[in-house]
Amino acid sequence: MVLVGANREIHAAAIAAGYRLIMRGKPVARRADELDASQWWSQSRVLALQWEKLERLLEHAYRQVPYYRQAMLERDLTPADIRTPADFAKLPILTKALINEHQADLFAANADRAKVIRTASGGSTGVPVTVYHDPAFVAAYQAVKLRNFGWAGWRPGRAWVRLWGSQFDVKPHQVLKQRVWDKATRVRVMPCFDMTEATMAVYAADLMQNPPDVIEAYVTPMYHFARFLEERRITGIRPRGIICSAEMLFDHQRATIQRVFGCKVYNRYGGREMGDIAHECPEGGFHINAENYFVEFVRDGRPAAPGEPGDILLTALDLYSFPLLRYRVEDVGSPADGLCACGRGLPLMRMVEGRVQDILTLPGGRYLPGEFFPHLFKDFDMAQFQVVQETLDHLTVRMVRGPRLTGDQIAYLTQRIHEYTGGTVTVDIEFVESIPATASGKFRYTISHVPPDFSRTREPAGV
C-alpha cells in the first residue's frame, strides 16, 4: 500500500504514538532523554560526567575483571591512583589480538552471561574480533543513535532505511527484542553486498513508494547508488538526511550524494564493537558522544595535539560485563579544539586518515594517506580502483577501466604517484573486471600490508 499526502502524515502520527507507547519506561528511552539534555551542557560539565563514569568503570574493572586487575597490579596501580588522563594512559593498550587471546579474563566475574550479546567484527583490517555487549551498553548505544539520527532529521514514528552489510549478531532470546526495536523505530534494511543495476532499480522504486526520513548507508554503495540515479535521471527520493559510515567519506562522494538526493549528508564514526562514537551535526561539527565514550588520540606514545593525526583508543563507559579500556580500533583521527557553532558542549574530533591499514608507509618514514588516491583519480574514467601496498617500496593499483581512460592518462597518474611517493616506490597498474568488497560489504580503496603504528613511542620520522 502506498500512502500519500495527509494519509501518510496520519499514518506517521499513529506510528509515532505507538513508538512512544512501546518505548515508555524502557532503559533506551530514559537514556535518550538524558542524552537529549546533556548535549546542551557546557563542555566542562560533559567532560566532568565522562570522567565520573570512567572512574566508576575503573573501580569495577579492578574488582571484577581479572585482566584489568592483573594489568593494574603489574603497574602498581589502583583506581584511586588514576586521577587524570595521563594516569589513565599508564594502563596498557588493548588490541584485537589481546581481546581474542584473553576472552575469559575480560569477562567481569559478576556478568550475567545469559544476557550478553556476542558481537563479531567482519575483520576488514585482517584481524576479526569478538566482544560481548550487555543490556546497559545496548541501551546506551541505541539511545545515542536515536539522538544522532535526530540531528539528521529523523523523528519518532518515521522510517529510516539502512543500505548496509551485515546485521548485528542476535542470540535466540534476543530475537523478539530486536524485532520490537526494528518495528518501533521503523527500520528496514537494504543489503548492499550486490549493488547491481537491477538491485538499485528495485531500491529506487521502494524508496519512491515508501520514503524514509533518513537513509543510513555505507559510503561506497551509497555513492554508486547516487550515480546510478543521476545517470538514469531518477528523481524524487528526498530524505531529510543521509548518514554515511563504515568507510572514509570523501568530498566528491559527499557532493554527489547531496546533489542527487537534495539533502545534507552527515558523516558518522563507529563500529560493531563500540557503536556510534562520533557524529556530524547540522552545523558540520564532528562531535564525540562523550557521555558514552572516552576517546584518546595517541601519537608516538603521547597524546596527539589538536589537528595532529593519532591512533584512536576507545573506552566504552557503559560496558561492564566485558569492559573495553583503551581499545585500539586501528583508526586514525585527531582531536579538535574549540566549540561548535551549534552550541553543543560535546567535544570535537576529525577523521584524518581513516583506518591505519588505509595509510601507506613510505621509505624514509613518511606517510601517504589513503585519501590521496580518490582525490587523484576522481576526474578519470574508472568504475573502481584499489591501491595495495605489499612492501615498503611496491604499490599495485588495480583499476576497473572505463572506455574514456587513455594510455596518456594512465601514464600521468603513474607519474603523479611516483612524485608523491618520492620516486622510491615501484608502481604497477593492473586492469581487472571488478574489485570485491570485504566480507561485511565495505569497500577499501587502499590496503597497506606495512601500516604505521602511531601508538608506539618512536623517533619522529616524517609527516
Of 322, 356, 390, which closes a domain? 356
Residues 204, 144 within the same domain: yes
Of 356, 385, 400, which closes a domain? 356
**What is the rounded CA–CA span in Å between residue 375 and residue 454?**
24
| Residue 54 belongs to a domain | yes
- What single letter denotes the amino acid at residue 139? A
pLDDT tens sequence across 30-54: 999 999 999 999 999 999 999 999 9
| Residue 155 belongs to a domain | yes
| Per-residue cell: 460 | 619522529
Which helix (H) or strand (E) segment holds residue 259: the answer is helix 251-261
The whole model's pTM is what? 0.78
| Residue 458 belongs to a domain | no
Residues 393, 347 within the same domain: no
**What is the rounded CA–CA span in Å between residue 216 and residue 279?**
12
- The pairing of strands 275-280 and 286-288 is antiparallel
| Per-residue cell: 417 | 604517484
| Residue 97 belongs to a domain | yes
**What is the rounded CA–CA span in Å between residue 117 and residue 113?**
9
Quote the pLDDT of residue 371.
65
Quote the pLDDT of residue 9.
57
Q: How many residues does the chain have?
A: 463
Domain that holds residue 382: 359-448
Q: Which of 303, 370, 292 is nearest to 334 (CA)?
A: 303
Quote the pLDDT of residue 204.
97
Quote the pLDDT of residue 176.
52
| Full pLDDT tens readout for the chain, 463 residues | 445 555 555 555 545 554 554 555 588 989 999 999 999 999 999 999 999 999 999 999 999 999 999 999 999 999 999 999 999 999 999 998 899 899 999 999 999 999 999 987 755 445 678 899 999 999 999 999 999 999 999 988 788 899 987 544 444 444 555 555 565 567 888 987 778 899 999 999 999 999 999 999 988 889 989 999 999 999 999 999 999 987 788 888 899 999 999 999 999 999 889 999 999 999 999 999 999 999 999 998 999 999 998 999 999 999 999 999 999 988 889 999 999 999 999 999 997 656 665 778 888 777 776 767 876 887 788 878 899 998 988 999 999 998 889 999 999 999 999 888 888 889 999 999 988 876 656 677 788 888 766 555 443 333 3
Residues 196, 102 within the same domain: yes
Q: Residue 148's domain is classified under what CATH number?
A: 3.40.50.12780
Q: Is 128 helix (H, G, I), strand (E, B) or coil?
A: coil
Quote the pLDDT of residue 171.
45
| Residue 463 belongs to a domain | no
Q: How many domains does the chain have?
A: 2
Residues 344, 363 within the same domain: no
Q: Residue 383's domain is classified under what CATH number?
A: 3.30.300.30
Residue 166 φ then ψ, to 5°: -90, 155
| Residue 178 belongs to a domain | yes
Of 356, 385, 408, which closes a domain? 356
Q: Which of 378, 363, 396 is nearest to 462 (CA)?
A: 363
**What is the rounded CA–CA span in Å between residue 18 and residue 38?**
26
Residues 308, 396 within the same domain: no
Beta strands, E only, 226-369: 241-245, 264-271, 275-280, 286-288, 293-299, 302-303, 310-316, 327-336, 348-355, 360-361, 367-368
Residues 392, 426 within the same domain: yes
Residues 285, 404 within the same domain: no
Handedness of CA 427, 430, 434, 435 (dihedral sign): negative
| Residue 391 belongs to a domain | yes
Residues 377, 309 within the same domain: no
Helix axes 135-151, 27-38, angle to 10 degrees: 50
Residues 342, 382 within the same domain: no
Residues 363, 246 within the same domain: no
pLDDT tens sequence across 238-263: 999 999 987 788 888 899 999 999 99
| Per-residue cell: 31 | 537514556
| Residue 74 belongs to a domain | yes
Residues 108, 252 within the same domain: yes
| Unique residue bearing C-alpha cell 534476543 | 174
- What single letter denotes the amino acid at residue 419? E
Residues 333, 395 within the same domain: no
Quote the pLDDT of residue 134.
96
**What is the rounded CA–CA span in Å between residue 340 and residue 284?**
8
